[in-house]
Chains A and B, each alone.
Chain A
């Protein structure tokens, strides 16, 4: 069975500082990895997925199969980045069923 681990429940950084939200996974096949974000009083929404290799709102994430990691990074945090971030995995042939990590609350302080 697959598993997603986000070791930090809360990450607090100052505005303009770099951000790295950690995500590790365990899965024997080739997974698809996602980052979802939930801003205050909003619904959960997709931030980015590893296959698209995009930068969304300044965030990037690279799938490292050797380290089984998919860390989310942003070079300069903004106040509007404060939110709950979830890493999620979809197994091969999983039909888009997602296994979520426990989430990391990012707080960007002025």
Chain B
């Protein structure tokens, strides 16, 4: 099955700054998604990354805070903007071909 390389694997950031997370898939996939896992909680879908157009955000998530790009069928980025300590989470990208598969995750700590 396809493999996603996600980077960075972890980062510690100052509040008020932004971090961009990248995901590269080793083959073309139809769908890509971004999830967040806050401490002690489950994975929550942030948005669907649409190739060549604006992402589709779930309730509670907005483009200004989590801008997403997907320029082609193998690559996507998620930016966490103007970070606060509440953004400290694990962020995961997912691709879908015959099934959903995941990147290694990015563990973000905002101080």
Binding site for B on A (CB under 8 A): 4, 34, 43-46, 49, 86, 95-103
* Contact A45 B48, CB 8 Å, known A86-B43, A101-B42, A102-B42: no
A96 and B31 within 8 A (CB): yes
Query: Whole-angstrom distance between the alpha carbons of A97 and B101 in the complex?
Result: 12
Interface size on B, residues (CB 8 A): 18
Binary per-residue interface labels of chain B (68-111) against chain A in the complex, 1 for a CB within 8 Å, 0 otherwise: 00000000000000000000000010101001111111000000
Query: Whole-angstrom distance between the alpha carbons of A97 and B56 in the complex?
Result: 11
Q: B66 at interface (Cβ–Cβ under 8 A)?
A: no
A96 and B96 within 8 A (CB): yes
B103 and A102 within 8 A (CB): no
Closest-by-CB residue of B relative to A42 is B104
Q: B41 at interface (Cβ–Cβ under 8 A)?
A: yes
Q: Supply 5 A–B pairs (Cβ within 8 Å), ascending by A.
A: A34-B100, A45-B101, A86-B42, A100-B42, A100-B43
Contacts of B33 in A (CB 8 A): 96-98
